[in-house]
Chain A
Amino acid sequence: MTVEFELNGEPVRYHGDPRTSLLQVLRETYWLTGAKAVCEEGFCGACTVHVDGEAVPSCLRPVGLVSGASVTTIEGFAVPHTPHALQRAFEEHDVVQCGMCFPGMVMSLSKLLEDNPAPTREEVKRGLVGNICRCTGYERIVDAVMSLQHNSGARP
């Protein structure tokens, strides 16, 4: 079966089993390894990508269901050498530890900020519920997100 979709702005055609997870197709067919295969049960968030503008775990999406959809991975998220403000904030706050969870963190939190540009700390934490960091650096991640609001009338 052939599945056509848009991947990081480019049209692609996947030939194969449409029941295969989008995560597996991204990593093994298109060599986009930013989305990590960790729990593969939808609970760690390391494989989060944007499908038609929604942050979802790619491990739980059969590739057949993204037929006609627009998929954005961490590789296509920002212009090369011009990181997104969220990525810059992570770097400036020295948040990244082992790095395994960060592509998923960026994909989840970027959508959160798009929907709610001035979240409270609690809202950021709720938005991160599905992204697990085994290095357990959550508070600094939240600090970095909150720093983006300092010039935009952020709530405490």
Chain B
Amino acid sequence: MPAVTASAIEPAIAFPTSIDDALSLLSAYPDDACVLAGGTWLMRAGGRGETLPIMLVSLARIDGFDTIVRRGEGWTIGPMVTHDALARHFASTGAFRALGQAAGNSANPGVRRLATLGGNIATTGFAAADLAPALLALDASVTIATPDAMTSIPVGDFLGEQTSRKPRIVTGIEVEDHGCLSAHARLTMRRAGEYPVAAASVAAKISVNRTIEIVRIAVGSVEQTARRWRELEDELTGRPFDLAEIEAIATAGLPAFTPRDGVDAPSWYRLEVLPYLVRMAFAEIDNQAGR
């Protein structure tokens, strides 16, 4: 497919039915085309002072992209699965609860029916993505197709390379049951219906004698990109399960962050609330364990 200049392209939404066709379009129009998933970020381009790309390459008609498929002890989630579908699928307590909570409390019901998992993690510049910290805590992998290869990488690596301009498509997200319980805690300025000013996702295994055996902690919306809080994980592993102590250790570890300023909240505020959100997520895990 020959590349053409922007002036020669009419505004369009393309509906490829295969990954190869989608990649061909993105390769043919590198400056004019971008992937369209749920559209909830792209359709607000004007409000950010941006213009929409001339060609939107919709993934809506690629077979299997809107399915959640069992794979051994885990699941492979298609990139076009909506937040609403995720919330319903992962509503029960257990290993994947953080993902269900993150999806089910994000934005508002109407947006959740449109916004997709793939769009949420692949949108450059969206610092308040709820699903990103949840997937980090679940130690998820992201499968990416490029014109050269199909590769699976840890979600943290994927989020860290968001500036890549190479044509690529998220084709699936894999989550495994690592024997942990998980939870997601978020704070909004109103009670609900907004993006979080800070969010914490935790996956942990607490032993019968109430020791933290395994823990993964991820933080979203505080910095520009969600990330694991490995310093806190190291501090907590092997310690007795004590919510007050968890909050105190988290507070002591806050210098590890470079928080962002935003119209919704100043940087200091995001840090101020973070230890309590970590505590809330641990409390929810304890509640799930029935203790």
- CB <8 Å contact, A126 and B39: no
Q: How many residues of B contact A (CB 8 A)?
A: 27
CA distance A59 to B56 in the complex (A): 17
- CB <8 Å contact, B108 and A45: yes
CA distance A131 to B36 in the complex (A): 25
- With CB as the reference atom, state the residue of chain B lying closest to A49: B110
- CB <8 Å contact, A43 and B108: yes
- With CB as the reference atom, state the residue of chain B lying closest to A104: B110
- CB <8 Å contact, A65 and B52: no
CA distance A54 to B10 in the complex (A): 30
CA distance A65 to B13 in the complex (A): 8
The stretch of A15-23, A29-37, A139-147 in contact with B is A15-23
Check A72 for interface membership: any CB of B closer than 8 A: no
> Interface range on chain A: under 10, 10 to 19, 20 to 34, or 35 or more?
20 to 34
- With CB as the reference atom, state the residue of chain B lying closest to A55: B110
Given A18-B11, A56-B110, A130-B109, A40 and B56 contact (CB-CB distance below 8 Å):
no
CA distance A19 to B193 in the complex (A): 26
Binding site for A on B (CB under 8 A): 10-13, 15, 36, 38-40, 42-44, 47, 52, 56, 58, 60, 107-111, 113-114, 192-194
CB<8 Å pairs between A and B, sample of 16: A1-B11, A17-B11, A40-B47, A41-B47, A42-B110, A43-B108, A45-B110, A48-B110, A56-B113, A57-B114, A61-B39, A62-B43, A62-B56, A126-B192, A129-B193, A130-B193
Binding site for B on A (CB under 8 A): 1, 17-19, 21, 40-43, 45, 48, 54-57, 59-62, 64-65, 67, 108, 126-127, 129-130, 132
